[in-house]
C-alpha cells in the first residue's frame, strides 16, 4: 500500500526522542506489517472540536494518546493563561472507567502544572456531573473530563468545561480550538509536572454534592411511605457505581439491587456490545435481575454517568423501557406540578430542552404558564441558557431525548446520579398515591395528547459518505415534502439559516437560535420530523415525533403499533 510523502513526514516526526520507545516501537510495527493502520493513524490530525477530542486510542496524530492529549492540554493552558493573566488559575480533572482514562487525566494534570496552573485531580474515577459540580464548588477556571461516553472500548476522549461548570461555548470554545491548533507538534508541549501544583480532590466535594441533591427533593414523606420500592441498578462497568447506589440509599430507598456482573468498572465493557443505556442489549442483565426479583423499576447509567435509561412496570406488570422523551417529560411535569402544589413557584422559573426533544415538554410548561426555551442539540446549549439567566430566572429542569436530564442549578451538565434519585422520588410519590410512573405517563398523555418518538440513525460508510449526506440534506432543502404520513407539512424550520417558513403563507421569520445543520418539518397534526447530520461521523439522524389524540390507556399499545407503521410510511416518503 502506497504511503504518501506527507504521511511519511508525520511518521518520522514521531520517531524521535520526544516520543517514548514503546510508542515508537508500535509505529515501526505498523510500518512493517500494517500500512493500512499506519495511514489511518497519521493521515490527519485528530481534530479538537467544540466538544473537545474523541477518537480511537493508539499511536499517531489521528489517535488518542499521551501526545495528542498533551498537545490539547498545552493549547488549553495557553488559552487559560490568556484569559486569566493576573491570577493563579485552577483546573479540575475527572476520569471515567475507560482504558487509559486515569493515565490521560494524569497527563493533562502534568501539562497544566508544568504551565503553572494549579490542578484539582480526582483520586479515583467519578461521574462527569461531579466534575461539573467540582468546577464551581472549588472555584476553578476550567475543568477536564476524560471520557468517550458510550463509544466502543477502543475509544476515549477529552471534554473541556469552563468556570461556570458547563462545557465550553462561544467564544471560549473557538478560542481554545485556535490555541490547540497553534501548538506546533509534540516538542511544544511541556510535560514536566510541578507536583506541588497538583492537589487531589477529597470527599468534601462529594459530600457537598449530596447535600445539594438532598435539598431539591420534594417528596420526602412519600419516599418514607414507599421506601421498600424495589430498584435494580446497573452501572454498565462505569463510574455510576461510585455514587448512584449510595445516593439512592441515603435518600431512603432500602431495596436497591446492584447488577454485580456489571458493577466493577472495566473499560473493556465485557458483558455488553455497547455500554449505551439507549440500547436494550446494554440493560439485558438488569432486566433479567429485575424480572427474577420482581423489581418495580430499573436504572442503567452510561460509563461516565451523565445519562440514564430506565424501565418501569406497565398495566400487565411487564417491564418496559421508557425513552428519553418520556422520562424527560415525566421529570418536568413532576417538578412543575409538585412545586405548584407546595407553593414553591415564585414566578421566575423556566424549563429548557433541545430542538429534537419532544414538544410534550413545551405543552406541559405552557399549561402551567412556565416559559420554555429550545436550544441546539447538546446539553451544553441548555447550560448556556442557564448561564445567561443565572440570578434572574430559575431553571426547574429539562433535558434532551438522548437520556440526559437535569433539575436545579448546582450542576451544569446532564446528570445521571441526580436523575436516578429524582426518578426514584417520582416513582415513590406515584406509589404512595396509588399509581405508578407508567400510570402517571398515561395521565399526561390523556391531558396533553400522545407523543411517540423514534430515532433512526443511518451510517453511510466510505470516503464519499459525508458527500452523500450533504446531498440528502440539499435535496430536502430544495424540495421539502408537502405531506408526510398523511398530514400536511405546514412549516419548515431550517436551523442552518435560523429561519422558519410557513408553507401556507410563504412568510419567513427568524428563529432565536444559533445556526446548525438541522432541518425540521412541522406537520398540521403537531408532529415533527427532524434531520440532523453528525458533525464528526458519516451519519445522519432522523428524529420522528408523532402527535395524536390519545385513544386511552387500554388502547395505548395498539395505538403505538399504528404510529410505528406510520413512521415506516414517512421513512419511505423521505427515502430513509
Report strand pairing: 319-322 vs 308-313: antiparallel
DSSP three-state, residue 200: strand
Burial 297-320 (b: 16+ CB within 10 A, else e): bbbbbbbbbbbbbbbbbbeeeebe
Matching residue, cell 466502543 = 152
Matching residue, cell 426514584 = 424
In the beta sheet, which residues pair with residue 94?
145
Alpha carbons 410 and 422: distance in angstroms, whole number: 15
Burial 84-111 (b: 16+ CB within 10 A, else e): eeeeebbbbbbbbbbbbbbebbbbbbbb
Alpha carbons 234 and 386: distance in angstroms, whole number: 30
Q: H-helix or E-strand containing 290?
A: helix 284-292
What ranges make up the beta strands (E) of 342-400? 349-354, 372-375, 394-400
Q: Is 149 a catalytic residue?
A: yes
For 187, phi then psi, to 5°, come to -65, -15
Cβ neighbours of residue 130 closer than 8 Å, sequence gap 6 or more: 94, 122, 205, 206, 209, 243, 417
CA distance readout (Å), 499 to 384, 398, 508, 545: 21, 24, 6, 20
Alpha carbons 385 and 545: distance in angstroms, whole number: 24
Q: Spot the catalytic one: 41, 132, 149, 436.
A: 149
Q: H-helix or E-strand containing 543?
A: strand 539-548
| Catalytic residue list | 149
Amino acid at each position: 500500500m502506497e504511503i504518501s510523502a506527507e504521511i511519511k513526514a508525520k511518521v518520522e516526526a514521531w520517531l524521535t526522542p520526544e516520543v517514548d520507545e514503546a510508542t515508537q516501537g508500535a509505529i515501526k510495527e505498523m510500518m512493517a506489517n500494517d500500512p493500512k493502520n499506519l495511514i489511518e493513524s497519521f493521515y490527519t490530525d485528530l481534530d479538537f472540536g467544540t466538544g473537545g477530542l474523541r477518537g480511537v486510542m493508539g499511536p499517531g496524530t489521528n489517535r488518542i494518546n499521551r501526545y495528542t492529549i498533551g498537545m490539547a492540554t498545552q493549547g488549553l493552558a495557553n488559552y487559560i493563561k490568556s484569559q486569566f493573566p493576573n491570577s493563579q488559575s485552577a483546573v479540575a480533572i475527572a476520569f471515567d472507567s475507560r482504558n487509559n482514562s486515569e493515565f490521560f487525566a494524569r497527563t493533562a494534570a502534568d501539562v497544566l502544572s508544568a504551565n503553572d496552573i494549579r490542578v484539582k485531580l480526582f483520586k479515583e474515577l467519578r461521574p462527569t456531573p461531579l466534575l461539573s459540580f467540582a468546577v464551581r464548588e472549588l472555584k476553578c477556571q476550567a475543568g477536564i473530563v476524560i471520557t468517550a461516553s458510550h463509544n466502543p472500548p477502543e475509544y476515549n476522549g477529552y471534554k473541556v468545561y469552563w468556570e461556570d461548570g458547563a462545557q465550553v461555548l462561544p467564544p471560549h470554545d473557538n478560542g481554545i480550538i485556535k490555541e490547540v491548533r497553534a501548538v506546533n507538534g509534540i516538542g511544544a508541549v511541556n510535560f514536566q509536572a510541578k507536583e506541588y501544583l497538583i492537589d487531589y480532590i477529597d470527599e468534601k466535594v462529594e459530600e457537598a454534592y449530596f447535600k445539594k441533591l438532598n435539598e431539591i427533593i420534594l417528596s420526602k414523606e412519600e419516599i418514607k411511605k414507599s421506601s421498600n420500592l424495589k430498584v435494580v441498578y446497573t452501572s454498565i462497568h462505569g463510574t455510576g457505581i461510585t455514587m448512584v447506589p449510595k445516593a439512592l440509599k441515603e435518600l431512603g430507598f432500602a431495596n436497591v439491587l446492584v447488577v454485580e456482573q456489571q458493577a466493577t468498572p472495566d473499560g473493556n465493557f465485557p458483558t455488553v456490545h455497547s455500554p449505551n443505556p439507549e440500547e436494550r442489549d446494554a440493560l439485558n442483565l438488569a432486566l433479567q435481575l429485575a424480572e427474577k426479583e420482581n423489581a418495580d423499576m430499573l436504572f442503567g447509567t452510561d460509563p461516565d454517568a451523565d445519562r440514564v435509561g430506565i424501565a418501569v412496570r406497565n398495566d400487565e406488570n411487564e417491564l418496559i423501557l421508557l425513552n428519553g422523551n418520556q422520562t424527560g417529560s415525566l421529570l418536568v411535569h413532576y417538578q412543575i406540578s409538585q412545586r405548584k402544589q407546595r407553593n414553591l413557584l415564585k414566578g421566575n422559573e423556566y424549563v429548557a430542552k433541545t430542538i429534537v426533544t419532544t414538544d410534550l415538554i413545551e405543552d406541559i410548561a405552557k399549561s402551567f404558564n412556565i416559559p420554555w426555551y429550545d436550544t441546539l442539540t447538546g446539553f451544553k446549549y441548555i447550560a448556556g441558557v442557564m448561564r445567561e439567566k443565572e440570578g434572574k430566572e430559575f431553571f426547574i429542569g429539562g433535558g434532551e431525548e438522548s437520556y440526559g436530564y437535569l433539575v436545579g442549578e448546582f450542576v451544569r451538565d446532564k446528570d445521571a446520579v441526580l436523575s436516578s434519585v429524582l426518578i426514584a422520588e417520582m416513582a415513590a410519590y406515584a406509589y404512595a398515591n396509588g399509581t405508578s410512573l407508567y400510570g402517571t405517563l398515561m395521565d399526561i398523555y390523556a391531558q396533553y395528547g400522545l407523543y411517540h418518538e423514534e430515532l433512526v440513525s443511518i451510517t453511510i460508510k466510505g470516503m464519499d459518505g459525508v458527500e452523500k449526506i450533504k446531498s440528502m440534506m440539499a435535496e430536502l432543502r430544495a424540495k421539502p415534502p408537502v405531506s408526510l404520513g398523511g398530514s400536511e407539512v405546514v412549516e419548515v424550520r431550517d436551523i442552518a439559516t435560523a429561519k422558519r417558513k410557513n408553507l401556507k403563507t410563504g412568510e419567513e421569520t427568524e428563529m432565536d437560535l444559533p445556526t446548525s445543520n438541522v432541518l425540521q418539518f412541522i406537520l398540521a397534526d403537531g408532529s415533527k420530523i427532524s434531520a440532523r447530520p453528525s458533525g464528526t461521523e458519516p451519519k445522519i439522524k432522523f428524529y420522528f415525533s408523532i402527535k395524536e389524540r390519545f385513544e386511552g390507556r387500554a388502547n395505548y399499545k395498539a395505538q403505538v403499533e399504528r404510529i410505528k407503521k406510520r413512521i415506516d410510511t414517512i421513512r419511505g416518503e423521505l427515502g430513509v
